């Protein structure tokens, strides 16, 4: 059986420039237990859902928040769909195929 991919490379529909460098794609890795626990711990501490989601995406894409802050909303939404497809097999789609 072929090994399952642990990450997806996503070409941005709207590349951004952050600190003088163009970002035209992001690689999103599958969440691990530590990522889920961190998300849940932040929820228990009263951190807003948007801030928890932002931190999770920063961790999974291995970028700083300044990159996510500059993304077009459609690219950001697609990243969220990809993470959802990792954690919910029912939502698997071609969202990550770029």
Q: At what angle do helices 49-61 and 33-44 cross, to 10 degrees?
A: 160
> pTM of the prediction?
0.84
58-71 per-position pLDDT tens digit: 999 999 999 999 99
pLDDT tops 60 at residue 93: no
Cα 52 from Cα 67, distance rounded (Å): 16
- Residue 18 bridge partners (DSSP): 21
11 vs 97 pLDDT, higher one: 11
The token pair at 16 is 């951004």
Q: Where are the domains of the chain?
A: 27-84
C-alpha pair distances (Å), 67 with each of 11, 26, 47, 64, 87: 14, 10, 20, 6, 23
For the stretch 9-43, pLDDT in tens is 999 999 999 999 999 999 999 999 999 999 999 99
């Amino acid at each position: 059986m072929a090994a399952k991919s642990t990450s997806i490379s996503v070409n941005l529909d709207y590349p951004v420039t952050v600190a003088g460098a163009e970002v035209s794609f992001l690689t999103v890795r599958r969440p691990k237990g530590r990522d889920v626990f961190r998300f849940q711990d932040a929820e228990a501490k009263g951190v807003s859902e948007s801030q928890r989601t932002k931190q999770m995406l920063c961790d999974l894409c291995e970028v700083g928040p300044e990159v996510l802050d500059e993304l077009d909303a459609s690219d950001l939404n697609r990243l969220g769909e990809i993470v959802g497809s990792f954690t919910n097999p029912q939502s698997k789609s071609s969202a990550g195929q770029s």
